């Protein structure tokens, strides 16, 4: 077992031990119930890291079943750990006043964790809802007023997200009849060999000016070069630090895309460069839109002179408490924000990563409208 995985599994075991020791003794489970509870905790410790190595130790469909079981265990463990910590803090702060509520609070922690995991599962597995956002741009010509961009991001086709899930997303996007479709990275978690049949619905994306894709960090974990070729084969234009110019009613719209912010760690030739993406663009363009997977591309995008950046990556935090940690790495967690003269829209993502769980951060298909400020 790799050293990192061994250390992570050991830490995971200690956290499970903490939960069990804090909750099980006051729940009056009896000998059989206690044995079952500890057995489930031990199973969770094994299943969670198994999601990382499932395809190395087994072939589909067993690998996918292991990933499903481990992902659900991960989601439940996360909520149970948070609930247990909150219970302990409550008991500590309340002191003797809550001494008689040890059993009730333990039951509440378990119930809360199960409920959040169940609701989160339903939220994650349903087809993302459409969110409409108006982006006000100065000096936007009348011809571009109402121009629509359908954005999908962070679908993460992989062990638990398959063709049917993506089919429903494509169907919903196509009902919007957008002028343009933007796919802002993290489409997949896995190889072209394993997932090509499941990403095939992308070829059905339909928009007046077509669909465009930029790489996310997860493409680089899954052989980005192979995925760039596959996405192109499906009829989706991949923008690699480059742009296209659209003529819409006589007004020129520049649509540019950059590689992922961290792409140079995997291939130095893929270093993300918003300025290079704009090179050669017409000076009289009415608006300049950048597709960039991570919001932290915004500083360079603002320096380059873009009007709007469309990003994803954050998942909006996906579920509590991870949304609290997103600002440590990214300038924006979700929604529309302004950085100097640049608007930045950060999608909460259209799928999910890891646990099939969304709580407090619903997935979205975004319908952005360019409007006159």
> Residue 344 maps to which CATH number?
3.60.21.10
Identify whether residues 97 and 178 lie together within a single domain: no
- Tokens at residue 64, please? 């996918």
Lowest mean pLDDT among 6-15, 72-81, 125-134, 232-241: 6-15
How high is the pLDDT of residue 40? 97
Contacts of 100 (CB under 8 A, 6+ apart): none
Buried b (16+ CB within 10 A) or exposed e, 334-356: bebbeeeebbbbbbbbbbbbbbb
- Point out the domain boundary residue: 84, 99, 125: 125
How high is the pLDDT of residue 347? 98
Mean pLDDT (the chain) is: 95
Q: Where are the beta strands (DSSP E) in 41-146?
A: 129-137
Identify whether residues 151 and 106 lie together within a single domain: no
**Phi then psi dihedrals of residue 258, to 5 deg:** -120, 155
Buried b (16+ CB within 10 A) or exposed e, 228-253: bebbeebebbbbbbbbbebebeebbb
How high is the pLDDT of residue 1? 55
How high is the pLDDT of residue 51? 84
Identify whether residues 174 and 252 lie together within a single domain: yes
Identify whether residues 173 and 105 lie together within a single domain: no
Identify whether residues 165 and 314 lie together within a single domain: yes
Identify whether residues 308 and 168 lie together within a single domain: yes
Identify whether residues 81 and 19 lie together within a single domain: yes
Three-state DSSP class for residue 182: strand
Domain that holds residue 252: 129-372
- Point out the domain boundary residue: 125, 146, 170: 125
pLDDT above 80 for 56:
no
Contacts of 43 (CB under 8 A, 6+ apart): 73
Identify whether residues 146 and 258 lie together within a single domain: yes
**Looking at the 3D structure of the chain, how many domains does it have?**
2
pLDDT per residue as tens digits for the range 135-182: 999 999 999 999 999 999 999 999 999 999 999 999 999 999 999 999
**Phi then psi dihedrals of residue 238, to 5 deg:** -95, 125
Identify whether residues 367 and 348 lie together within a single domain: yes
Reported pTM: 0.95
- Point out the domain boundary residue: 67, 93, 125: 125
CA 224/CA 351 separation, integer angstroms: 19
Identify whether residues 261 and 368 lie together within a single domain: yes
pLDDT above 80 for 100:
no
358, 319 Cβ separation under 8 angstroms: yes
pLDDT per residue as tens digits for the range 18-34: 999 999 999 989 999 99
CA 163/CA 136 separation, integer angstroms: 36
230, 309 Cβ separation under 8 angstroms: no
Identify whether residues 10 and 94 lie together within a single domain: yes
Identify whether residues 109 and 163 lie together within a single domain: no
- β-pair type (180-183, 308-311): unpaired
CA 333/CA 223 separation, integer angstroms: 27
The answer for 249, left when phi > 0, alpha when psi is -120 to 50, beta otherwise, is: left
Mean pLDDT of 3-25: 93
């Amino acid at each position: 077992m790799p050293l990192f995985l061994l250390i992570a599994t050991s830490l995971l075991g200690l956290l499970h031990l903490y939960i069990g020791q804090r909750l099980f003794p006051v729940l009056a489970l009896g000998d059989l119930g206690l044995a079952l509870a500890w057995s489930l905790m031990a199973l969770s410790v094994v299943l969670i890291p198994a999601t990382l190595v499932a395809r190395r130790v087994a072939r589909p469909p067993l690998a996918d079943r292991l990933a499903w079981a481990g992902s659900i265990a991960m989601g439940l463990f996360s909520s149970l750990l948070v609930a247990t910590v909150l219970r302990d803090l409550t008991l500590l702060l309340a002191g003797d006043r809550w001494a008689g509520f040890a059993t009730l609070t333990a039951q509440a922690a378990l119930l809360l964790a199960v409920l959040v995991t169940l609701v989160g599962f339903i939220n994650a597995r349903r087809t993302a809802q459409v969110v409409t956002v108006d982006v006000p741009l100065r000096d936007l010509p009348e011809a571009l007023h109402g121009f629509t961009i359908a954005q999908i991001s962070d679908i993460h086709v992989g062990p638990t997200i398959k063709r049917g899930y993506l089919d429903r997303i494509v169907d919903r996007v196509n009902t919007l009849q957008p002028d343009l479709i933007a796919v802002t990275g993290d489409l997949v978690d896995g190889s072209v060999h394993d997932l090509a049949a499941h990403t095939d619905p992308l070829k059905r994306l339909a928009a007046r000016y077509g669909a465009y894709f930029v790489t996310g960090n997860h493409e680089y974990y899954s052989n980005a070069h192979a995925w760039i070729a596959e996405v192109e084969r499906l009829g989706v234009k991949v923008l690699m630090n480059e742009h296209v110019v659209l003529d819409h009613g006589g007004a020129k719209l520049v649509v540019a895309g950059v590689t992922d912010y961290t792409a140079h760690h995997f291939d130095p030739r893929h270093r993300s460069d918003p300025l290079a993406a704009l090179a050669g663009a017409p000076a009289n363009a009415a608006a300049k839109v950048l597709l960039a997977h991570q919001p932290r591309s915004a500083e360079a995008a603002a320096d380059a002179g873009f009007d709007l950046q469309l990003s994803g990556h954050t998942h909006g935090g996906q579920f509590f408490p991870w949304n609290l940690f997103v600002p440590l790495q990214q300038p924006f967690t979700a929604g529309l924000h302004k950085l100097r003269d640049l608007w930045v829209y950060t999608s909460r993502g259209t799928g999910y990563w890891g646990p099939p769980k969304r709580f407090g951060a619903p997935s979205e298909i975004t319908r952005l409208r360019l409007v006159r400020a």
